[in-house]
């Protein structure tokens, strides 16, 4: 079974890349390179090291923003989920944040925090945090009541109820929120480099487009997607080691 799912993954990748190659060869647009051209551009940038220099720049706001969003997002989400009053106070902020047209807000952020790292970290956080907060809080709120009662009847202290029952019970939904949040964070990082100042991968995209070097542009886009996928897989591995029973489902279902 394991092998079959691997074959299916490879088949799916082949289909997508094949369609890309064909679309590039027709070509559907002068500005759309073939898959192979893009890959050779990616290989070139990898060997001359320019992609690594770019990522050193892009990863700064990305890692910082995702880390902040994860820590504060899960923390706030737990708090909101555990306390009714906090939900009324904070939930609307994150719902508005999630619905806000970010591109329109970027000029405001730049005016307030300049064109440096701070603004970019903000963009990543605005993208990543709401979904993490909202899914954490709803997961916490939906902890089965009988499990909490069980812990209390066996003399759990409040912190033990949270650590040993609420968080493990909420962890599958927290992690799915985290996956969505992290992918949104990747979008935010690139958006900030396109909209604020062209640095890192955003710079490769902007610059290659301006000199009509489309293979390099698509290579940069492809690389960020690849990185996001790898990161999400890593997240799944972390989840499976931290909470071994998560794939096992609820008894009372």
Partner 1 sequence: MVMSQTDAAFSNAEPIEQDVAVSVRGVSKNYGAVEALKDMSLEFPRGQLTSLLGPSGCGKTTLLKIIAGLLKPDTGEITVNGKAVVGPGPNRAFVFQDFALLPWANVMRNVAFGLELRGVAKSEREDKAAKYINDVGLQGFEKAYPHELSGGMRQRVGLARALSVDAKVLLLDEPFSAVDEQTRRKFQEDLLALVANENKTFIFVTHSIEEAVYVSDQIAILLPRPSRVSEIIRPSSFRLKGAENIRRDPEYLDIVDEIWASLRDYVE
Q: Which residues bind partner 1 (CB under 8 A)?
A: 144, 146-147, 149-157, 160, 164-165, 168-169, 243-246, 248-252
Closest CB to partner 1 among 46 and 146? 146
Closest CB to partner 1 among 160 and 197? 160
Supply 185's token pair.
């964070």
Please give the distance of CA 248 from its chain centroid, rounded to a whole number.
25
Q: Is the peptide bond before 27 cis (omega within 30 degrees of 0)?
A: yes
For residue 132, the minimal CB distance to partner 1 (Å) is: 21
Closest CB to partner 1 among 47 and 154? 154
For residue 241, the minimal CB distance to partner 1 (Å) is: 13
Burial 218-240 (b: 16+ CB within 10 A, else e): bbbbbbbeebbeebbeebeeebe
For residue 83, the minimal CB distance to partner 1 (Å) is: 20
Closest CB to partner 1 among 52 and 250? 250
CB 215 within 8 A of CB 37: yes
For residue 134, the minimal CB distance to partner 1 (Å) is: 23
Task: Dihedral sign for Cα 145, 146, 147, 148, please.
Answer: positive
For residue 86, the minimal CB distance to partner 1 (Å) is: 24
CB 34 within 8 A of CB 21: yes
Closest CB to partner 1 among 12 and 146? 146
Closest CB to partner 1 among 32 and 243? 243
């Amino acid at each position: 079974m394991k092998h079959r799912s691997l074959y299916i993954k490879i088949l799916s990748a082949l289909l997508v890349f094949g369609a890309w190659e064909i679309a590039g060869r027709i070509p559907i647009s002068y500005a759309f390179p073939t898959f192979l051209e893009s890959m050779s551009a990616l290989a070139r940038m990898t060997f001359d090291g320019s992609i690594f220099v770019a990522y050193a720049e892009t990863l700064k706001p990305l890692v910082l923003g995702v880390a902040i969003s994860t820590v504060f997002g899960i923390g706030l989400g737990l708090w909101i989920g555990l306390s009714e009053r906090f939900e009324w106070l904070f939930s609307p902020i994150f719902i508005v944040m999630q619905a806000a047209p970010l591109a329109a807000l970027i000029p405001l952020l730049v005016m307030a925090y300049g064109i440096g790292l701070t603004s970019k970290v903000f963009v990543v956080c605005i993208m990543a945090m709401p979904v993490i907060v909202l899914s954490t809080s709803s997961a916490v709120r939906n902890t089965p009541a009988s499990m909490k009662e069980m812990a209390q009847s066996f003399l759990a202290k409040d912190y033990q109820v949270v650590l040993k029952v609420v968080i493990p019970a909420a962890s599958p939904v927290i992690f799915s929120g985290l996956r969505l949040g992290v992918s949104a964070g990747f979008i935010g990082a690139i958006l900030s480099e396109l909209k604020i100042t062209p640095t890192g991968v955003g710079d490769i995209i902007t610059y290659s487009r301006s000199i009509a070097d489309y293979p390099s542009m698509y290579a940069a886009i492809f690389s960020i997607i690849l990185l996001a996928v790898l990161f999400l897989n890593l997240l799944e591995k972390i989840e499976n080691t931290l909470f071994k029973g998560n794939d096992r489902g609820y008894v009372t279902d």
